[in-house]
Structure 1
Amino acid sequence: MNANDRTPADLLRSALATDPARPLVTFYDDATGERVELSVATFANWVSKTANLLQGDLGAAPGDRLALLLPAHWQTAVWLLACASVGVVAEVAGDPADADLVVTGPDTLEEARACSGERVALALRPLGGRFPQPPAGFADYAVEVPGQGDRFAPFVPVDPAGPGLAVAGTELTHAELVARARADAERIGLEAGARVLVDGDYSSWEGLSAGLFAPMAVGGSVVLCRNLSVLAEEKVVERVGAERVTLRV
């Protein structure tokens, strides 16, 4: 990746410039049998649309705080990069009552109602499907995002020294996030182009780093597995081979 990248959005732009066709996020939900693979280009398109929704329709601005109440999921990764693209602080499992806006999955709708700002809900259905019945008081992400623009430009350039992510008591600027991701990649032995399989857990920095940011920092990709524990170990080993995984975390 580019040594001058200082924000997560920079990492994504470098990946897009280098090899847009390669896989970036491959997601499995082993409780449902779902598998979704997003190339760099496809992932970046989702990020652009989501960032346009965030900045335009939702009126979010740099420094605003977004309570992100989502499990480890490919759409969570999209929201993390969209927040970074706008300059919004993604507060993973943050308190909706203290946030400027909230993004929630179907299991935390009641908790999310404590937010007095904009509220967005994700059904987390296969292929990004919408809710059968939209939850009252929430914008349905799957309804709102398709019509957004495919290119994104922030109204205000994102300051690398500005706050970028809060998770489990740790708050990082955009630049600190990238630096820590690079350090983590070196510590766990990720080489350029690494493909990492993780048992998805985005509730801590360690989970976010291994499951998204550290692979991005070395121009790699992630196989993000939800409910991996339901698989027998031999099936996991088969997946490692089929997905050409270079490291299982």
Structure 2
Amino acid sequence: MTDPLLPADVLARMLAADPGRPRLTWYDDEPGATAGERIELSARVLANWVSKAANLLQDDAAAGPGTTVGLDLPAHWRSLYWALAAWSVGATVVVGAEAPGADVLVTQSPAVAADHGGDTVLVALPALARSHPEAGSAPGAVDEARELSTHGDLFSPMSDPEPDDVALVGSGARPDGTAYGEVVVGEPAWGEAPRVVVGGALDRVLRQSLAAWSADGSVVLVRGTRDDLSDRFASEGVTHDARGDA
């Protein structure tokens, strides 16, 4: 029996296969300050974000196997690297309504950050943010936009998760969570190196992204609604739109 593929293995394989190929493309069609953003991350750039966030979790919050990391964030490109960072340290990612109760909380809300009793990271969603505009309302939280860049570009975990450790707890997950050895599930119908549009709740986006990446693929993530995205998806070389998948 072969060992199960873990999230950290998925990222390592993408780096080894082609570090420069785009692996995550983000479009923001939501009205507001970030409307019109397009972000594209290669495997190398994605891994850099993951390493910095994982170093913050491990060094500042002592996160590791057994730690729960709550992602109180929308389905967003920043959510993806924070999830991969939590899995890199061997922690359990918690999404949905239970996220604020996790040991470590990653949130965009100053009010939620201020109410959290443990380690907290306050995230500003705009790509070019240099600090969270309301960081002063949560003085105990780490201002990600200001402080993440100070952490190392390479990451080495102090402990690795076991396949039976819980990787993901959320609204779409099993009641007792999904184990590390079961969170990466491929989609054979997508073929090799698919270019997949992912969408829906955060736990679903995380699973779909892992599935695409495990097949040496890439993902396109869109926030907001537009009547017709066919031209955009054609220009992005999309091979499968998984937003309507069960």
* TM beyond 0.5: yes
- Amino acid of the residue matched to residue 126 of structure 1? A
Counterpart residue number, 2:13: 14
Residue identity over aligned pairs, in percent, reads: 38
> How far did residue 100 of structure 1 move?
0.9
- Amino acid of the residue matched to residue 178 of structure 2? L
**Partner secondary structure for residue 127 of structure 1:** coil
> How far did residue 27 of structure 1 move?
0.4
RMSD over aligned Cα, in angstroms?
Answer: 1.8
- Amino acid of the residue matched to residue 143 of structure 1? R
> How far did residue 19 of structure 1 move?
0.6
Counterpart residue number, 1:103: 106
Counterpart residue number, 1:30: 29
Moved runs in structure 1, 4+ residues, more than 6 A? Answer: none
Counterpart residue number, 2:179: 173
**Partner secondary structure for residue 216 of structure 2:** coil
Counterpart residue number, 1:243: 236
**Partner secondary structure for residue 143 of structure 1:** helix
The answer as to whether partners of 2:106 and 2:120 remain within 8 angstroms in 1 is: yes
CA 1:5 to 1:46, structure 2 compared with 1: closer, same or farther past 3 Å? farther
Counterpart residue number, 1:64: 67
- Count, aligned residues: 232
The answer as to whether partners of 1:72 and 1:202 remain within 8 angstroms in 2 is: yes
**Consecutive unaligned residues in structure 1, runs of 5 or more:** none
Report the Cα distance in structure 1 between the residues aligned to 2:50 and 2:144, rounded to whole angstroms.
13
CA 1:95 to 1:196, structure 2 compared with 1: closer, same or farther past 3 Å? same
Moved more, 130-139 or 74-83: 130-139
> How far did residue 161 of structure 1 move?
2.1
**Partner secondary structure for residue 20 of structure 1:** coil
Report the Cα distance in structure 1 between the residues aligned to 2:10 and 2:99, rounded to whole angstroms.
28
Which of 202, 218, 223 aligns to 1:221? It is 218
- TM-score w.r.t. structure 2 length? 0.88
Report the Cα distance in structure 1 between the residues aligned to 2:14 and 2:154, rounded to whole angstroms.
16
> How far did residue 142 of structure 1 move?
1.2
> How far did residue 67 of structure 1 move?
1.5
**Consecutive unaligned residues in structure 2, runs of 5 or more:** none
Which of 170, 188, 207 aligns to 1:209? It is 207
Report the Cα distance in structure 1 between the residues aligned to 2:100 and 2:134, rounded to whole angstroms.
25
CA 1:133 to 1:7, structure 2 compared with 1: closer, same or farther past 3 Å? same
- TM-score w.r.t. structure 1 length? 0.87
